[in-house]
Amino acid sequence: MKAILTFHSIDTSGSVLSCAPEAFANLLDALGKSGLPVLGLDELLLQETEAGIAITFDDGMHSVFTAALPALRDHAAAAHLFLTTCAIEKNNQWPGQPRNAPEFDMLTWDEIERLHEAGIFIDSHTHSHPDMRELSDDEMFHECELADDLIEKRLGRRPQYFAYPYGYRNDAVCNYIRNRYKGAVSTELRTLSSREDHAQLPRLDSYYLKNHWLQRNLDSSLSRMYLSVRGVVRTLRGTQ
Binding region for Zn ion (CB under 5 A) out of 54-62, 142-150, 203-211, 212-220: 54-62
Minimal distance, residue 68 CB to Zn ion, in Å: 16
Four-residue CA torsion sign, 67, 73, 76, 80: positive
- HSE toward the beta carbon, residue 7, CA cutoff 13 A: 31
Q: How far is residue 235's CA from residue 216's CA, in Å, rounded to a whole number?
A: 26
Count of residues near Zn ion by CB under 5 A: 2
Query: Diameter of the chain by CA atoms?
Result: 47
Given 58, 111, 123, 148, the residue binding Zn ion (CB under 5 A): 58
Nearer to Zn ion, 59 or 111 (CB): 59
Nearer to Zn ion, 188 or 219 (CB): 188
- What b/e readout covers 176-200, taking b as 16+ CB neighbours within 10 angstroms? bbbebbebbbbbbbbbbeeeeeebb
59 binds Zn ion (CB under 5 A): yes
Nearer to Zn ion, 58 or 111 (CB): 58
Nearer to Zn ion, 150 or 214 (CB): 150
Four-residue CA torsion sign, 68, 114, 107, 85: negative
C-alpha Rg value of the chain to the nearest Å: 17
Binding region for Zn ion (CB under 5 A) out of 58-66, 88-96, 190-198, 204-212: 58-66
Nearer to Zn ion, 2 or 8 (CB): 8
User: For residues 54 and 46, is the Cβ–Cβ distance under 8 A?
Assistant: no
Minimal distance, residue 59 CB to Zn ion, in Å: 5
| Contact string 8-47 vs Zn ion (x = CB under 5 A) | ----------------------------------------
Minimal distance, residue 32 CB to Zn ion, in Å: 28
Nearer to Zn ion, 58 or 123 (CB): 58
Minimal distance, residue 58 CB to Zn ion, in Å: 4
**Which amino acid appears at position 87 of this protein?**
A
CA distances to 4, 114, 155, 170, 231 from 185, rounded to whole Å, are 8, 24, 22, 13, 15
Contacting positions for Zn ion (CB under 5 A)? 58-59
